[in-house]
A and B are shown apart, each in its own frame.
Chain A
């Protein structure tokens, strides 16, 4: 009897550890959790470091005994960074430069994606290929002539420098959004369109009243990604908009002292690393809040938008 009991309990433990098939058991689950936690920690580690540095005072920085955990919480770095970045007014300017192009980009991408998805016209494949090519070209190749062109048009240092390409479908990573909408609209059955046509709707009406309401998930996804990418875009904004207009460009100048690069001199420089970290964190905070509120849309949007195809 004891032997049977013993065997039964061993079996129980085995079943617990390994499960019916290998994937149910505790060992595997533990392994998965462990890996995820480790990787997750490595992901967050830089942010934690930045946060802890930003709270250090100058003495803590110079003190070799203090390592990564500040001895006292020191908020003055944030004040310096806030002042140097001129946070509030530049934040609204940044928002304007980001939100407006994001909306325009989404609307135009949806329009163009619908055109590619629903109509057959000669040379369609060529144009589609060119859309893809737009994404593959690094922006530097077209940058200099665009700079000269915008200079002649007089719209440098003006949000129009970003809005103009966006309105014509050449915005930042526009091709991705066009392709997202293209994939999505291909998945909508044509029978809907044809039924509406029988009832006498013209194609534009079909677009606005049928295609657009169905593609709201794609709209949300494109809007979110467009907003985030445009907000974080430093390179083109630096060149077309000059040094002080968006938060990111000001951060680049603020940070540049530590990195040893030259800047414009109009923006106060960080004098030590804690201020640099404080500046970085100030920039990240609106994005993180934005992300935490809307994260479901971000992640599920990639599923629903159909970029991965059916």
Chain B
């Protein structure tokens, strides 16, 4: 065991020290050179009259520079001129002048905060997105000397998708599964959240149990449980037959088999609903108790209370939970579509890119439909009522 630790420590140490040394050396060289060059430029363009006191500033490369020179140097690029009784002025490169209003100041600082994300988005998400779209119109092959050859084939990749049965089936399977699982997950999560919201003793324990799958479920573990096609795996081996046999005593055989095979689906649904349960629970606890009391005083039954009070107040959370569920179902590693895309990736980048874009579009459509269904508000009825009140 000590050998393993030593090996790991050596490996780690080697890498980090070599990277560190390289970057330190490089950094010092660049910064010093830059500072001398820019200092020379500013000195050339902007001569500063030096008075008696000499204040020095230690800057990059451990070179002391006079404070006035240092400030003068920076005013060559950016300077904020304070005016008495008016708005400040931002001067860039000594000729671009902007009025520095509060709103502009806020905008600049806001963009400075966001800037990191913007750079990351443009570089690591937008560019790959567009490149991937480009790839999908090409057939990409690797020539012998590790070059990448791109042959433009237009929409051929897309047409081939619909001709090849495996991928199309996987897409169909995904759509069916999502349409089936989404409402079941949401309903089940809501029921469980309502159950957990009651005053019972072991509430914390049950909450922990229901949330456990979120922590534990990862790609390989779910593959073990559910098998690569989503219907096999450990659960199918152990429970389907026994459950079917147990139910065969009470139910007709075909129904028993149906319910037995549904067991794996049930486990999937339950295990995927952990986060949603907590979301709904949080939402339920935010509803004012007094509203419930007022309703019960007015004689509303629990059923009515649920439909008229609880459900509308949970509407925004249902949307959040729905979006989370769809994205999770779409990106979970046991998803068949992803496996197909992975296989395609090994052979042809262009085809795999086309596959992923089709998948993306389908997910987008599903999300759009769900978002539309859940955010539709009947505005016309309110208008009518208002007009009647006016009369």
Residue of A nearest to B314 (CB): A308
Q: Given A115-B113, A168-B116, are A89 and B4 neighbors across the interface (CB < 8 Å)?
A: yes
Cβ-based interface call for B5 (8 A): yes
A251 and B131 within 8 A (CB): no
A234 and B219 within 8 A (CB): yes
B123 and A168 within 8 A (CB): yes
A131 and B117 within 8 A (CB): yes
B135 and A42 within 8 A (CB): no
CB distance from A216 to the nearest CB of B (A): 19
Residue of A39, A122, A276 touching B107 (CB-CB under 8 A): A122
Cβ-based interface call for B144 (8 A): no
B331 and A138 within 8 A (CB): yes
Give the residues in chain A near B111, CB-CB below 8 Å. 121
Cβ-based interface call for B206 (8 A): yes
Cβ-based interface call for B129 (8 A): yes
Give the residues in chain B near A291, CB-CB below 8 Å. 208, 212, 215-216
A168 and B119 within 8 A (CB): yes
Bound Cα distance from A261 to B342, whole angstroms = 12
A-facing residues in B1-24 (Cβ within 8 Å): 1, 4-5, 7-8
Cβ-based interface call for B101 (8 A): no
Cβ-based interface call for A165 (8 A): yes
A88 and B4 within 8 A (CB): yes
Give the residues in chain B near A68, CB-CB below 8 Å. 238
Q: Given A248-B218, A288-B215, are A112 and B195 neighbors across the interface (CB < 8 Å)?
A: no
B-facing residues in A73-128 (Cβ within 8 Å): 86, 88-89, 92-93, 108, 111-112, 114-116, 118-122, 124, 127
A140 and B338 within 8 A (CB): yes
Bound Cα distance from A143 to B338, whole angstroms = 12
CB distance from B133 to the nearest CB of A (A): 9
Cβ-based interface call for A137 (8 A): yes
Bound Cα distance from A40 to B211, whole angstroms = 10
Cβ-based interface call for A205 (8 A): no
Residue of B nearest to A254 (CB): B220
A308 and B317 within 8 A (CB): yes
A-facing residues in B214-263 (Cβ within 8 Å): 214-221, 223-225, 227-228, 234-235, 238-239, 242
Q: Given A141-B357, A252-B220, are A287 and B119 neighbors across the interface (CB < 8 Å)?
A: no
A-facing residues in B96-126 (Cβ within 8 Å): 103, 106-114, 116-121, 123-125
Cβ-based interface call for A223 (8 A): no
CB distance from A233 to the nearest CB of B (A): 8
Q: Given A114-B113, A259-B228, are A143 and B209 neighbors across the interface (CB < 8 Å)?
A: no
Q: Given A49-B234, A234-B218, A235-B333, are A165 and B124 neighbors across the interface (CB < 8 Å)?
A: yes
Give the residues in chain B near A141, CB-CB below 8 Å. 128-129, 132, 353, 356-357, 359-360
Bound Cα distance from A207 to B235, whole angstroms = 50
Cβ-based interface call for A8 (8 A): no
B349 and A169 within 8 A (CB): no
A145 and B128 within 8 A (CB): yes
A46 and B121 within 8 A (CB): no
Give the residues in chain B near A219, CB-CB below 8 Å. none
Give the residues in chain A near B108, CB-CB below 8 Å. 121
Bound Cα distance from A40 to B125, whole angstroms = 40
B270 and A32 within 8 A (CB): no
Cβ-based interface call for A135 (8 A): yes
The total of chain A residues at the interface (CB under 8 A) is: 98
Interface-located stretch among B57-65, B282-290, B379-387: B282-290
Per DSSP, chain B at the interface is helix
Cβ-based interface call for B41 (8 A): no
Cβ-based interface call for A21 (8 A): yes
Bound Cα distance from A173 to B314, whole angstroms = 24
Residue of A33, A45, A170, A260 touching B125 (CB-CB under 8 A): A170
B285 and A303 within 8 A (CB): yes
A170 and B121 within 8 A (CB): yes
CB distance from B124 to the nearest CB of A (A): 5
Bound Cα distance from A149 to B283, whole angstroms = 42
Give the residues in chain A near B112, CB-CB below 8 Å. 115
Give the residues in chain B near A308, CB-CB below 8 Å. 279, 282-283, 286, 316-317, 320
B132 and A144 within 8 A (CB): yes
Cβ-based interface call for B210 (8 A): yes
Cβ-based interface call for A2 (8 A): no
Cβ-based interface call for A55 (8 A): no
A-facing residues in B172-206 (Cβ within 8 Å): 192, 195-196, 198, 200, 202, 206
Spell out A's residues near B (CB within 8 Å).
Answer: 21-23, 29, 32-33, 35-36, 39-40, 42-47, 49-50, 53, 67-68, 86, 88-89, 92-93, 108, 111-112, 114-116, 118-122, 124, 127, 130-131, 134-146, 148-149, 164-165, 167-170, 178, 203, 228, 231-235, 248, 251-252, 254-255, 259-261, 273, 276-277, 280, 283-284, 287-288, 290-292, 295, 298-299, 302-303, 307-310
A-B contact list, 24 entries, CB within 8 Å: A33-B200, A46-B225, A68-B238, A108-B117, A112-B117, A120-B106, A121-B114, A127-B114, A130-B121, A131-B117, A134-B121, A136-B327, A139-B331, A144-B345, A148-B148, A149-B128, A168-B124, A169-B116, A170-B125, A231-B218, A234-B218, A255-B223, A277-B224, A291-B212
Apart from A93-B8, A299-B208: 18 A-B pairs, beta carbons within 8 A = A47-B216, A49-B234, A50-B225, A108-B116, A111-B113, A127-B117, A139-B331, A140-B338, A144-B356, A165-B120, A168-B123, A248-B219, A251-B220, A252-B219, A252-B223, A259-B227, A280-B221, A283-B218
* A-B residue pairs, 6 tightest by C-beta: A168-B120, A115-B113, A119-B110, A232-B218, A234-B219, A169-B117
